[in-house]
Amino acid sequence: MSGSWSGPVVETADGRLRGAAANGVVAFRGVPYAAPPVGPLRFAAPRPPARWAGVRDATSPGDASPQMLSTPLPRRFGALLGTAGSRSEDCLALTVHAPSGPSSSPVGRAVLVWLHGGAYAVGRGDDYDGSPLAREGDVVVVTVNYRLGAFGFLDLRAVLEGTSAADRAVANAGLRDQVAALEWVRENIAAFGGDPTRVTLAGESAGAGSATALMAAPSTRGLFRGVIAASGALSQLTDGDDAAGVAREVVARLGSFPDRPERLWDASTTALLTAVRGAVSTRPQRLSTRPVWDGDLLPSTEAAGLEAAASRCASGVALLAGTNRDEHAFFTTLRFPVLPLTRSRLAVMIAAQHGNAGAARVLARYPDTREGLVRLGTHTLFTVPTLTLLDACAEAGGDAWGYRLDWRSPLLRMGAFHALDLALIFPPRPALARLVLGRPDPEVAAMAARLRARWLTFVREGRPGDGSPAPAAPADGRTDAGWPRHTAGRRPTLIVDRRDTVVDDPDGDDAAVWSGLGTLRP
């Protein structure tokens, strides 16, 4: 990496980039990792980017994928969902943050690749400032934009079968974008001081679902050695029949068929977004455009995907996975209908997938109260899928660690709600910090620092570390004596709070009602 009065310059496989330096970190923004997926490349697998001559400016963020929320949210919550910033179909770009000084390692720094969340429908990589993590952890941080909604997760294979356009679209284009970004990291991250053999793939919510799905993808072998999955796992994916139903609804609203499949490519960005919004309105309180078990990039079923992900753990990919105690409160309080919001809706969904007897068994465990609904939704949609993955990895002989965030935010009485951990890992702007974290509190700041330290140690060393000197053991039987690897029988879980503790299977009694049923696809 060289420098000049106008900013640091790096040489990548595609050409030279000029970034910016500030506070001990260099940043390169809007770096193309694939060709623009526009025109005939809409819905296609990502293609390599074109080389450029001279020095390309890399001081401005790239556009996010086109996106449209299915329901309005208060403006102050936009930063939690990535609803701001410019958008276009030319969105396959990433941002690199790296410490500006020399690395103490002769092979370079460990690398964290971050996949944003947002129900596979909203968000952008640059909502997450990687510079504090790069500076604090002496790592290289890469945040990625990928195609969302219809542009990344509309499975058109069934509706295009037998037409002249059958070979123009792939399933899981958004996941394939993420693979292309990982391949770019493998080829180029050394130029930024990173070690391509020490890459951790991390994400929250849909980003965690993506990261765990890519554990099951044969094509990603060798692209990362660890995965951090916060509030998301394999149950977020769907099957081919469900995906085809969404696609048929979208193309019907575009008037594309039976004789004009080309309208999928001729339609404007706005027309396609409007068609998706209409299709989503017929499928309330559930994920719509999302990854699919396609039998190509991924296995063809969730069971096969779980087995493949566990096999990756057994072959040396370490897993750090966790949830927040009150995940579901985020959706019910803000009325964000990408997941089931009510007890009755959850009951219908459980019965449809696991039978009336299974639904009755699950529902009997949770009281019909606000607190009971939060527990039911949290365990059904987040806790049980995460424990299922942790158990499978541990049983396969892999290294895995589980955690649960219990600290309660003062915001709208939502407790440890979905996405709260983002405010601890990526320190937010002061106004958002006050909203989500409350008044400045040294104990909360220390808790956040410990959680970041555990994540960053995992990125550097493949294990989470202790975060900070352990406090004295509390008197209620919980223990601070280290954070053991996950085992399916014991399930040692780090409880993240003002004082971190380790508890064996803290959700075990509730999770036990799911024994023999499997996870729920939202």
And the tokens for 434?
A: 């006050």
Exactly one of 65, 70, 205, 231 is catalytic; name it. 205
CA distances in angstroms from 507 to 85, 233, 454, 504, listed in the order given: 39, 17, 22, 9
Question: What letters, b where the CB count within 10 A reaches 16 and e where it falls short, cover 415-454?
Answer: bbbbbbbbbbbbbbeeebbebbbeeeeeebeebbebbbbb
Does residue 418 carry a catalytic annotation? Answer: yes
116 annotated active-site: no
Is 2 catalytic? The answer is: no
User: How many CB atoms lie under 10 A from the CB of residue 278?
Assistant: 14
Amino acid letter for position 265: W
Strand arrangement, sheet containing 9-12: 9-12, 15-18, 55-57
Exactly one of 328, 354, 379, 418 is catalytic; which is it?
A: 418
For residues 179 and 219, is the Cβ–Cβ distance under 8 A? Answer: yes
Encoded tokens for 148:
């969302």
- Taking the CA atoms of 463, 231, 491 and 221 in sequence, report the sign of the dihedral they define: negative
Selection from 134, 208, 226, 110 nearest residue 421 by Cα = 208
Three-state SS at 228: strand
What is d(CA 355, CA 349) in angstroms, rounded to the nearest whole number?
Answer: 9
Supply the DSSP symbol for 380. Answer: I
The residue from 327, 328, 354, 379 that is catalytic is 327
Active-site residues: which are they? 205, 327, 418
